[in-house]
DNA sequence: AGAAAATTAGACAGCCTTGTCTAATTTGTC
DNA sequence: GACAAATTAGACAAGGCTGTCTAATTTTCT
């Protein structure tokens, strides 16, 4: 009874109810992610949620339903996170390189390297072909719009004379590919990169990106004792 | 007593025997790739191999064994393929851009977009954490050596004055990341890219790579009506 | 306190899968 | 053709998982 409000809007005994609901969803996400759909079983999920098996069925019907609910939730949360991060893009950069590096770090840290990112990578890889409709909203609302939005930001920077590029869509995809280049091995091993690895990866990526698309002539090469100008 | 050989080198009635063996391995690879380890069952594999279930057990013992055999075979084949392709790197390029584009296409076509590449991506994603030792030989003999070998080639080109880079290892990883940038969506959807998509992806990647690392000043931008020199 | 709703443990049937076994059949060699 | 090995279909037990059901218990609201 944490909130004995007077004009109760909430149905009734739903405080602990929804607590259990999210607990189940959360546990299910972990187990599905760890074991895959086929390898996951309801008892594991119930145990990890601290709930009886029957309660799982009460809340979500059957296994397929539960899986769909998990995918939907994580998809929505991930897409929201991506766009929140996209909103921090340096539209009016003070130091373009530094600002892009920070942006790249935020993108990797908040959207790619967290639990949800890992889950989606894995699930889409394993079940994406079998249940394409399941991930359709992810596909259209996620990468599709992400690329377009990022491309628009780059186009604006180019229009402002800070970048020079032919096709902003290609540049956006390449930016995303570059910021993950150094993290591939971590992804494969399931390791969460340290903050330092994140910074190194972002720095390498942005330097190369700016060497290719920066306006101010070729950068003097990352940290090398390059020839004088 | 499987070999009552006199002077026989080949065990005996092994002609059709080994035929079935590879047939089983091949079918198992397909089924494991499609269904994952947990979702695959021996009957599917036997049916797809055109063989009775018992024969599968005769050849490979149990399911785990079969899986290990499949992973080992595909790992070896893939690593061999990667190094064969790596051997076609343009060490003495006539037209650096064109030659790198062709090389990138070969890499993608022969190592990344084929069935084995797809299988490994999927399997490593799903089972890599659970059975790390299974993919250890892949990890050490595959990406580890690939990156080093590619980095060495780039370093040689840089030494020859054709490229300008600070860290060849970073450049190698970025090259591999870039040539896949445009294919991410196909990977997710499980689609095999067309030859034309392959060429576009390789062209975009190599042009950006050379804008960043090419020696001959900044390239005039992909296919844009850029300002005159 | 008392009533209504939610939760729990446990049992249960039905289904699928693995791995073994057997008896009949095919294949390949001498 | 005869013999040995491999293969086959089918049955089979053991075990796991899903989803349902029930009766007892706890939680929550009035």
CATH number assigned to the domain comprising residue B82: 1.10.357.10
Distance from CA of B128 to the nearest CA of A (A): 7
Q: Are B25 and B70 in contact (CB under 8 A)?
A: yes
Q: How far apart are CA A226 and CA B14, in angstroms?
A: 64
* Low-confidence winner among A199-203, B3-7, B16-20, B121-125 (lowest mean pLDDT): B3-7
Same domain, B45 and B83: no
For the beta carbon of residue A41, count every other beta carbon within 10 angstroms.
13
Domain count, chain B: 2
Note the CA–C1' distance, A13 to C6, in angstroms.
8
| Interacting residues of B139 by C-beta distance below 8 A, sequence separation 6+ | A185, A188, A189
* pLDDT value at residue A107: 97
Mean of all residue pLDDT scores within chain A: 87
Assign residue B25 the CATH number of its domain. Answer: 1.10.10.60
Same domain, A124 and A13: no
Q: Nucleotides on strand C with an atom closer than 7 A to protein CB?
A: 4-11, 16-22, 27-30
Same domain, A6 and A102: no
Taking all atoms of strand D, which protein residues have CB closer than 7 Å? A 1, 4, 8, 12-16, 40-43, 53-54, 57, 61-64; B 1-2, 4, 11-13, 16-17, 20, 50-55, 58-59
Count the alpha carbons within 13 Å of A201 in the hemisphere toward its beta carbon.
29
Q: How far apart are CA B122 and CA B115, in angstroms?
A: 11
Sorting pLDDT into bands at 50, 70 and 90, what band is B15? low
> Residues A51-79: what's their mean pLDDT?
95
Q: Nucleotides on strand D with an atom closer than 7 A to protein CB?
A: 4-11, 16-22, 27-30
Q: Which residue, among B62, B56, B69, B58, has the nearest Cα to B29 in the 3D structure?
A: B69
Establish if B227 belongs to a structural domain.
Answer: no
Establish if B7 belongs to a structural domain.
Answer: no
| Phi and psi angles of residue A198, each rounded to the nearest 5 degrees, phi first | -60, -45
Q: How far apart are CA A201 and CA A181, in angstroms?
A: 7
Range(s) of the domain holding residue A16: 1-61
Q: Which residues of chain B lie closer than 8 angstroms to A115, CB-CB?
A: none
- For B132, the token pair is 């790390």
Sorting pLDDT into bands at 50, 70 and 90, what band is B218? low
Same domain, A50 and A17: yes
Q: How far apart are CA B212 and CA B219, in angstroms?
A: 9
* pLDDT value at residue A14: 52
Same domain, B123 and B47: no
Establish if A151 belongs to a structural domain.
Answer: yes
* pLDDT value at residue B135: 87
Same domain, A51 and A101: no
Same domain, A79 and A53: no
């Amino acid at each position: 009874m944490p909130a004995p409000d007077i004009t109760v809007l909430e149905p009734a005994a739903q405080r602990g109810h929804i607590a259990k609901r999210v607990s189940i969803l959360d546990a299910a996400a972990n187990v599905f992610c760890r074991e895959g759909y086929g390898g996951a079983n309801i008892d594991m999920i119930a145990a990890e949620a601290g709930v009886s098996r029957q309660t799982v069925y009460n809340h979500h019907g059957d296994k397929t339903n539960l899986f769909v609910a998990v995918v939907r939730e994580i998809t929505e949360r991930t897409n929201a996170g991506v766009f929140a991060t996209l909103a921090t893009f340096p539209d009016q950069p003070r130091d373009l390189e530094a600002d892009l590096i920070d942006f790249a770090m935020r993108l990797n840290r908040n959207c790619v390297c967290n639990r949800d990112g890992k889950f989606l990578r894995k699930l889409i890889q394993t079940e994406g072909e079998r249940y394409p409709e399941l991930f359709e909203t992810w596909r259209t609302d996620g990468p599709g719009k992400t690329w377009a939005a990022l491309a628009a930001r780059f186009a604006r920077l180019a229009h402002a004379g800070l970048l020079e590029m032919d096709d902003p869509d290609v540049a956006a995809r390449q930016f995303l590919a570059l910021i993950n280049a150094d993290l591939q091995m971590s992804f494969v091993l399931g390791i969460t990169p340290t903050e330092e690895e994140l910074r190194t990866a972002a720095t390498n990526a942005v330097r190369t990106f700016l060497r290719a698309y920066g306006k101010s002539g070729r950068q003097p090469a990352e940290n090398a004792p390059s020839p004088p100008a």
